[in-house]
Structure 1
Amino acid sequence: MTSTQKIAAVVAYPAKHPESGEPLAFDMEYYLASHMPMIEKAWGPYGLKSWSINTFADPCPLTGEKPPYLVQTTCYFDSVEDLRMAMRKGSEETRSDVEKFSNVFPVLWVGERRGRNVLEGENEGTAQA
């Protein structure tokens, strides 16, 4: 089994500003309508394959606690080299755009996808590595 989406760049927005403690203010409408199309345009030529966004309820419906992050976007690339190139050559405009939708700058993790299985919808039940 092979996958064309091997690298996940996770961009996570903390629930509060790390220095001031101010709660995250996040304009999801702007993020979806303006920032993510900008990301596609800037990073697409350097190997961006797809992206997804998750939001986390405050408080968490399972624990009742405040989650450490409220918004998380995952961008998929074939390789770390593609991600590096996208960030080096395609991030100048996108980095300065963050202040238009968030009062907190995100943190970034880079991981390698080790497995995937879609249980419903397209490719139902197809395991991928």
Structure 2
Amino acid sequence: MAVYPQIHNATYDSTFDMDYYSQQQMPWIYSLFKPFGMKGYTITTLERTAPYSVLTLMYFSTAEQFEEALAAHGDEIFARVPLFSSEFPPHYIGEVTNTTI
């Protein structure tokens, strides 16, 4: 999971270009990570009062697959963050325990 912080106060507003992120950045990341086992991703935008503007879930069978993909391509991916976001995302690894759609 990658989450993009959003900061809004009297002197600063975070920026995020969703068109670039959804149409270029994430498809590019998917092309890099798919050989490591990435199955897909979801992008969720959050309300302005949330601490994050965007939450992206990336689906792999194992945490190790994600870690290998990030080790191989993390530097080039993080280098492109300023193209669409004023904030750098922390990322977290978790396990899906239940899904109902």
Q: Quick check: 1:38–1:94 contact (8 Å CA) kept in 2?
A: no
Aligned counterpart in structure 1 of residue 73 of structure 2, from 90, 94, 102:
90
- How far off is 1:92 after superposition? 2.6
**Gaps (5+ residues) in structure 1?**
1-9, 59-65, 119-129
* 1:1-129 equivalence runs, <5 A: 10-16=1-7, 22-58=12-48, 66-118=49-101
Contact persistence 1:13–1:69 (CA under 8 A): yes
1:24: Cα distance to partner?
A: 1.7
Deviation per CA, 1:65-101, whole angstroms, max 9, x where unpaired?
x211111100011001101101001223211111100
Q: Cα offset for 1:35?
A: 0.3
Between the aligned partners of 1:22 and 1:45, the Cα distance in structure 2 is 39
Report percent identity of matched pairs.
32
Q: How far, CA to CA, are the matches of 2:53 and 2:22 in structure 1?
A: 15
Q: In structure 2, what is the equivalent of residue 5 of structure 1?
A: none
**Which protein shows a greater Rg?**
1
Judging by fraction of residues, say which structure has more helix. Answer: 2
TM-score by length of 1: 0.72
Displaced runs of 4 or more, over 3 A: none
